[in-house]
Amino acid sequence: MPQDDRETIASLPGRGPFREYYDGPMLSRAQSIADLRARAHKLMPRFVLEYLEGGAGEEAALTRERTAFADWRFLPRMLRDVSHRSARHAVLDRDARLPLAIAPTGLNGLFMRHADLALARAAARFGVPFIQSTMSNETMEDVARIPGLRHWWQLYVFGGERIWHELVDRALACGCEALVLTVNSQVYGMREWDERQRIGRSLPSPSTTLDAARHPRWLASTLNHGMPEFANVRHFLPEDKRGFFEGAFWIRDQMPKDLGWRHVEAIRKRWHGPLLIKGLIHPGDVREAMEHGVDGVILGTHGGRQADWSVSALDVLPEVRELVPRDKALMISGGIRRGSDILKALALGADAVLTGRATLYGLCAHGEGGVRKALEILETEMLNDLGQIGVETLDQLGSNIVVPAKDPPALHPAG
Ligand SMILES: Cc1cc2nc3c(=O)[nH]c(=O)nc-3n(C[C@H](O)[C@H](O)[C@H](O)COP(=O)(O)O)c2cc1C
């Protein structure tokens, strides 16, 4: 077993050669998502990294979202023409450069000022959709103005009905392509790291403040412009709850604990475009979602931040695929760090994946250019992997090309 995380199978225990990630300023030298992550860790203060990286409780769901990919191996084919490989794929019935959308992540203003504009611009220029969170620090109208953007709106239901009515109406007026209703956060995951950063609900701890002060570059690009605000819902917050921390707690407290299918039905009636439900894991819930006329589901555990000890999206994907007709979208989120992860997800039945941290590492490391770089890295890896496994296009991926890592099934000679 490696003694520290710089040791790999190619190292002699304790003697190396140790793997070094590139965390310097030259974007072109970043080779993998791990390099972007290393630079993000160099630049961000500790409390921001905790927010970016952390999961709920024991972080078992967080770990599983990553390790689940290791349970599947490729079964490569040789002597196949792989001269014309492509990673393009339809996402919600429209061609995209990758089978991917950038996941909704709230409070991105902690990483840099105007972070959601940077993420959305990178998504638009690269050619994949961007999902904006209800907890975003930019208005949806500002994001909607980005040329060529495939803009999806992620809805949290909180407070009275008039809040989600207004958000849905605004998303319609903004021309958002899809509505993503997140349903796994009505009871907020226990995130101890988050509690340790603060004294009470609004005061950062002295060590958090000190550590933030030691990151002048981050301060200059974020908090020197004031604390980020919940730009889309600020006007719903009571006046004394409009501060960053107070607002986040207030919204959390207002999440109805009885969110149910009747809410889905009401949202379905008001929203005229594609409606996706995000945060399902249980096949029974996916079946119900299909019965309630949604256009797709996004499986996942909120990047391990909800439902600790849950199985991961990849674990249930093959079973869920059987329940989701081909004219509905089946996406997964959680743990995507490599092009091979995306290929495995598609081979096991997903139509597309979401990236949360992978693209956020790029954002923290290099802003908009870093997000684009993260997407390019995933694309390069996918195209390379396709060549290695003897597949030209993503629609050729299937259970004939991935097998469980342990106990592989008997091979079909004609497969
Ligand atoms: C910092 C952070 C903030 C998040 N905020 C939201 C959010 O506001 N709404 C939401 O539906 N999911 C949110 N998520 C979950 C992501 O949409 C996505 O499911 C998850 O990040 C996927 O896992 P990955 O980060 O390993 O790719 C958040 C995740 C992270 C890491």
Whether ligand 1 lies within 6 angstroms of the CB of 133 is answered as yes
**pTM of the full predicted structure?**
0.96
For residues 198 and 28, which has the higher predicted lDDT (pLDDT)? Answer: 28
Q: Are 330 and 316 in contact (CB under 8 A)?
A: no
- The whole-number pLDDT of residue 224 equals 81
State which of 105, 179, 277, 342 you would mutate to test the pocket of ligand 1, scoring each by most atoms of that ligand within 8 A of its C-beta. 105
CA 334 to ligand 1 centroid distance, Å = 8
Q: Name residues whose C-beta falls within 8 Å of residue 326's C-beta, 6 or more positions apart in sequence.
A: none
Whether ligand 1 lies within 6 angstroms of the CB of 278 is answered as yes
| Lowest-confidence segment of 97-111, 190-204, 306-320 by average pLDDT | 190-204
Q: Is the pLDDT assigned to residue 408 strictly greater than 90?
A: no
Across residues 325-345, what is the average pLDDT? 98
Please report which confidence band the pLDDT of residue 289 belongs to, taking 50, 70 and 90 as the band edges: very high
Cα dihedral angle (163, 165, 168, 170), rounded to 10 degrees?
Answer: -80
Whether the upstream peptide bond of residue 76 has omega within 30° of 0, thus cis, is no
Structure-token pair, residue 15: 């003697």
Q: Give strand ranges (E) for 30-150.
A: 72-74, 89-91, 94-96, 100-102, 130-132
Name the maximum alpha-carbon separation found in the chain.
69
- The whole-number pLDDT of residue 60 equals 96
Ligand 1, atom 7: closest residue by C-alpha: 105
By annotation, the residues acting in catalysis are 302
Over residues 66-78, the pLDDT tens digits come to 999 999 999 999 9
Q: Is the pLDDT assigned to residue 223 strictly greater than 90?
A: no
Please report which confidence band the pLDDT of residue 13 belongs to, taking 50, 70 and 90 as the band edges: confident
Could you give all domains of the chain from N- to C-terminal order, each with its CATH number?
A: 1-30 (no CATH), 89-404 (3.20.20.70)
272-297 in b/e form (b: 16+ CB < 10 A) is eebbbbbbbbebebbeebbeeebbbb
Whether ligand 1 lies within 6 angstroms of the CB of 37 is answered as no
Q: Is the pLDDT assigned to residue 413 strictly greater than 80?
A: no
Please report which confidence band the pLDDT of residue 225 belongs to, taking 50, 70 and 90 as the band edges: confident
- The whole-number pLDDT of residue 375 equals 98
Whether ligand 1 lies within 6 angstroms of the CB of 52 is answered as yes
Please report which confidence band the pLDDT of residue 251 belongs to, taking 50, 70 and 90 as the band edges: very high
- The whole-number pLDDT of residue 3 equals 56
- The whole-number pLDDT of residue 199 equals 83
Q: Is the pLDDT assigned to residue 415 strictly greater than 50?
A: no
- The whole-number pLDDT of residue 329 equals 98
CA distances from 9 to 12, 132, 329 (A): 8, 39, 38
